[in-house]
Structure 1
Amino acid sequence: MRYYLKDSFLHNQHEKNAGSKARNDVEAILISEGYKGLEIKVNNWYQMNFFKAQQHKYSATKSVFDQLGLGDELVIQFPIIHHTFLIAQLIKQAQKRGAKFYLLIHDIETLRHAAGSEVKLRHKLRNYFQEKKAMMSVDGIIVHNDIMKGVLANQGFPVDKMVSLEIFDYLIPNFQEKSLPQKEQAIIVAGNLNPTKSGYLYSLPENHAYNLYGVGYDESRALNNITYFGAFMPDDLPAALEGSFGLVWDGDSSETCQGTYGNYLRFNNSHKASLYLAAGFPLVVWKQSALSHFVLENGCGIAVESLHDLKDTIDNLSDTDYQDLVDNAKRVGEEIRDGHYLKIALTHLK
């Protein structure tokens, strides 16, 4: 039997930041492919001390894994929300009974901090026990892209266990196609607009307009070329977007992507890229990002080294060039809205 771990946040106080959207879409696609949910049931372990919380989460996870036997498969969205340091041990116990385990990666903290930022010892230990040991123990892993696959292979993870997703899917209930975007319109920025993650928004070049959607934006520091539209629920956001391109950029600089969040784009697939494409907008991505390979190979956007190069790059596009980008974005977006990329990746798991 094919199962997925139904692993939900105890509290989701930030529904408009799309924190659960990617996980919810994965769950919906798995259900459509015939997977059944095995729910991990926990009490509020945030109110427990460290050792009691670990014991509680271990028992809750074990009660799920104990249901698995010969021929059963379990897909786990990773990182696990109700994480336990002994996850690898529990996986190995179930594997001895003939069960198989697969991880679908959303984030890898060791890669997020790969640029050498200071990481406390307890976080390094947590990453080792809850990331590396878990990833080494499973039968297969769906990673974001071939860049991430290569980095993990260099860290000792077997290449033949890894499958590239290429890009995240983004389901849109009751999708209605909008009027075609125009090259002269503003650049769209959606998602977490907090200065810690998106500090570049407060030092943008003045030669292009930007439309912002999301939480955490400091309106007191708004530039003259920015229009802030507020925050929306993830399923409502695509219909609200207006502009020419969707921007995938992180860090505190408009010159390049840098810092913890900016450098993470070298390895990961930003979920906001899927939002833009699903809504029918071509992308602007950092030339050194992992996503740039997908974007350029599929002709669904442009890649730049710096946002200071953006206006000239767009101005140099002919109307036909831009229309081709829009057409390709619509083609890829239709696949993203259908769950195409996860469905294909699942078929390649061994």
Structure 2
Amino acid sequence: MHTHITCLYGHAYTSTAMLAQIATADIAKEMGFDKVPVYSYPVEADSESELRTRLDGIFSGVGFGDFIVLQYPTWNNVEFDQAIIRKLRAYPRLKIAIYIHDVLPLMFEPNAYLMPTMIEIYNMADVLIVPTEAMYQRLRQEGLQVDRYVVQEMWDHPIDLDLDRPEFIRQFHFAGDVNKFNFAKNWQSNLPLRVYSRDPETALPDQVITCGFMRDTELIVNLAKGGFGLVWADDDHINEYFKLCITHKLGTYLAAGIPVVVPRHLSNHDIIEANHLGLVADSLEEAQDYVANISAEDYDDLVDHVDRYRPLITQGFYTKRVLTEAIFKCLDNRS
């Protein structure tokens, strides 16, 4: 049995969606998986015949009786995702796992109408890899029928860097687009908020320091200098999605070795509490007060706990676990 995993290419180098799929596929490759590149392109330009020919080429290395992981969405369009699963479902004895990174009808309100199509796609899989238990239960409410599933819990962030120990600095880091988050544009604290994103469209408070977009290694090195990684949003829809998804920036902060501050409604906040990796806060004001008053000794204790936990993320163990469990779910009737 050969194992395969799809991987998105063709997005801008700033695309978190593409970086997450590449990182996942790279970890899978260490386990013996073959990468199946899926490029972003204008699917609507293809005729039905051209699309069939394109898919024949993409999946030419996949054989009967193999195991394939489809990282969804492909970020082309839903019709393309649908065409992939329909094609592969016709392969005799092929086992298919769908690795759900995001659910577009839940992620973006205007895409809510796509939910029946996405459920149809998911129901054609043998096993699902879902970000959280809450996401699986939400999809069940929408008509999901697949009983075999694996829960991811956290994004890995593989790195191979020799980082210095973070210094005790009373500051926040935010790896997100400052133009999309009002809390950053209206920052009300004397503590610095260092933002890693494209240039702001409006003037920002003096304590918001724009650092520009940084590629992965540069970002990790800057985060590792010290402070707290912040996961936050003030948009109701994003906060609802936080309950279902797992955010990539959380793994990035922990890979850099710094403690984090997250909202209590974040899906995997229990990992932060159980492993003493930072603060789970009920409000931004609570978070700011916590950072303003934490002692150097308490900060160092958090850094020690992060250092103990971070190999799970930097060495790809979450991804390795879900891929291994997905294979067992497909092949072992006890699973």
Compute the RMSD of aligned alpha carbons: 2.5
Contact 1:91 1:138 in 2 (8 A): no
For the Cα contact (< 8 Å) 2:126–2:148, is it kept in 1?
yes
Question: Deviation at 1:298?
Answer: 2.2
Q: Is this contact kept in 1: 2:176–2:197, CA < 8 A? A: yes
Identity among equivalent positions (%) equals 23
1:5 aligned partner: 6
Counterpart in the other structure of 2:24: 26
- Aligned in 2, Cα 1:202/1:54: closer, same or farther, shift over 3 Å? farther
User: Cα gap change, 1:41/1:187 in structure 2, threshold over 3 Å: closer, same or farther?
Assistant: closer
AA aligned to 1:226 is: V
Distance 1:98 1:181, change over 3 A: same
Query: 1:146 is matched with which residue?
Result: 133
Matched, 1:285 2:262: yes
Once the two structures are TM-superposed, the CA of residue 63 in structure 1 deviates from its matched residue by 4.3
How far residue 158 of structure 1 moved from its aligned partner, in angstroms, is 4.5
* Alignment partner of 1:92 is 2:89: yes
| Alignment pair present for 1:108 and 2:95 | no
* Amino acid across the alignment from 2:260: L
Return the alpha-carbon distance in structure 2 between the equivalents of residues 72 and 314 of structure 1.
51
Change (3 A) 1:80 1:224: same
Structure 2 counterpart SS, 1:20: helix
Aligned residue in 2 for 1:206: 189
SS of the residue aligned with 1:244?
A: strand
What letter corresponds to residue 187 of structure 1 in structure 2? Answer: F
SS of equivalent to 1:74: strand
Cα distance in 2 for partners of 1:329, 1:57 equals: 47
Deviation at 1:325, TM superposition (A): 2.0
Question: For 1:321-340, what per-residue CA distance to the aligned partner results, in whole angstroms no more than 9, with x for missing partners?
Answer: 43332222222222211011
Distance 2:300 2:143 in 1: 43
Unaligned runs of 5+ in 2: 330-335
Tell me the distance in 2 between the aligned counterparts of 1:149 and 1:143. 6
Q: Is residue 169 of structure 1 aligned with residue 156 of structure 2? A: yes
Q: Aligned partner of 1:246: which letter?
A: G
Shift of 1:265: 1.1
Distance change in 2, residues 1:147/1:298 (3 Å): farther
Per the alignment, residue 277 of structure 2 pairs with 300
The C-alpha deviation readout for 1:223-258, integer Å capped at 9, x for no partner, is 0111222221123210122441100112xxxxxx33
CA contact (8 A) 1:187 1:211 kept: yes
Q: Per the alignment, do residues 61 and 75 of structure 1 end up closer, same or farther by CA in structure 2, a change over 3 Å counting?
A: same
SS at structure 1 position matched to 2:97: strand
Shift of 1:79: 0.3
The alignment partner of 1:185 has SS state of strand
Does the CA-based 8 Å contact 1:335-1:341 persist in structure 2? yes
**Cα offset, 1:53, TM superposition:** 5.7
Partner of 1:253: none
**Letter paired with 1:334:** P
2:320 partner letter: K
Q: Deviations over 1:285-319 (max 9, x none)?
A: 11111131221122212111221221323355454
TM-score, reference length from structure 1: 0.83
Conserved in 1, the CA contact under 8 Å of 2:9 and 2:39?
no
Contact 1:7 1:82 survives alignment (8 Å): no
1:79 is aligned to 2:73: yes
Name the CA shift for 1:215/1:331 in 2 (closer, same or farther; >3 Å).
farther
